[in-house]
């Protein structure tokens, strides 16, 4: 008989896809290694996860041949198994987490290297919200502005913004279910939650503000730097 005492506790792992090229960012190399507020962008991301006691281990997926992590200065596990899409990189990383000892029932928090404004408090808030949930969930921001439908650069309709959210990361799901969901959804899904939805499951939306944005375009670097510097003051 399995009692509550003998039942193994689920652990939390972090998986950071860091194998993109940053084609929209206008940088010379991959954007995640650009210096922001004195450190490479991904350093800030890893520092936040490193400060969360409930994260057992963080695994970073980098591109094969990536020189940046040759001498890994972090306690995270760096694996050069990046794929051609974000979803492929995440799939490969989940497999590596399994090889490193994570089980199907363990939770995985997938977080973009390029969301370097994540904080330990936000990660803890997501874990608190999802730990007791059947499915898991994601940080997200409820749409506040009036929403437009565009055609050829012109607004042709105003859409109902009720019940519309912008997906952020981390996104927290059980490893086994996430593997199954991504296998089914294929390599082009843009986040974990959409793969989970394709199984007919409904991820929990954990409300968050706008500061956890993804550094995507050239102008985002200065904004990220300003926020990080303001936090240090
Ligand atoms: N094949 C890929 C593509 C993306 N990513 C990672 O997924 C995160 C979110 O992706 P995005 O911001 O779109 O990054 P890029 O794909 O690098 O940017 P772009 O789409 O502008 O090329 C980033 O941390 C990125 O490094 C990844 O690990 N493997
Ligand atoms: C996962 C994600 O950050 C959620 O907003 C995003 O979908 C990934 O990046 P992309 O801009 O869609 O490539």
What is the set of domains in the chain, with CATH numbers? Answer: 12-232 (3.90.550.10)
* CA–CA gap between residue 116 and residue 120 (Å, rounded): 12
How many whole angstroms from 190 Cα to the centroid of ligand 2?
A: 5
How many residues belong to the chain?
233
Pocket flag, ligand 1, residue 192 (CB < 6 Å): no
Provide the β-strand partners of residue 165: 142
Q: Which residues contact 146 (CB under 8 A, 6 or more apart)?
A: 158, 161
Average pLDDT of span 181-188: 97
Q: Which pLDDT belongs to residue 2?
A: 46
How many whole angstroms from 158 Cα to the centroid of ligand 1?
A: 30
* Ligand 2 pocket: which of 190, 194, 196 to mutate (most atoms within 8 A of CB): 190
* CA–CA gap between residue 138 and residue 226 (Å, rounded): 25
How many whole angstroms from 198 Cα to the centroid of ligand 1?
A: 22
CA nearest 42: which of 12, 9, 14, 4?
A: 14
* CA–CA gap between residue 107 and residue 57 (Å, rounded): 11
Residue ranges lining ligand 2, Cβ < 6 Å = 86, 112, 167-169, 190-191, 214
Tell whether ipTM is more than 0.95.
yes
pTM of the predicted model, to two decimals? 0.96
Segment 191-228, tens digit of pLDDT: 999 999 999 999 999 999 999 999 999 999 999 999 99
């Amino acid at each position: 008989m399995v009692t509550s005492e003998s039942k193994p506790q689920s652990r939390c792992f972090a998986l950071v896809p860091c194998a993109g090229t940053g084609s929209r960012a206008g940088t010379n190399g991959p954007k995640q290694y650009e210096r922001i507020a004195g450190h490479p962008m991904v350093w800030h991301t890893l520092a936040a996860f490193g400060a969360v006691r409930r994260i057992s281990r963080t695994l970073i997926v980098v591109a094969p041949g990536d020189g940046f992590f040759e001498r890994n200065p972090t306690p995270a596990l760096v694996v050069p198994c990046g794929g051609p899409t974000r979803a492929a990189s995440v799939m490969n990383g989940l497999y590596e987490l399994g090889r490193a000892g994570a089980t199907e029932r363990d939770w995985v928090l997938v977080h973009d290297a390029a969301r370097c404004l994540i904080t330990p408090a936000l990660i803890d808030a997501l874990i608190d919200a999802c730990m007791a949930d059947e499915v898991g969930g994601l940080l997200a921001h409820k749409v506040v502005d009036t929403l437009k439908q565009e055609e050829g650069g012109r607004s042709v309709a105003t859409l109902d913004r009720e019940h519309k959210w912008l997906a952020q990361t981390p996104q927290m799901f059980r490893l086994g279910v996430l593997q199954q969901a991504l296998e089914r959804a294929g390599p082009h899904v843009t986040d974990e939650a959409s793969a989970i939805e394709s199984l007919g499951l409904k991820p929990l939306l954990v409300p968050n503000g706008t500061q956890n944005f993804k550094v995507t375009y050239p102008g985002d670097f200065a904004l990220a730097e300003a926020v990080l510097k303001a936090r240090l003051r």
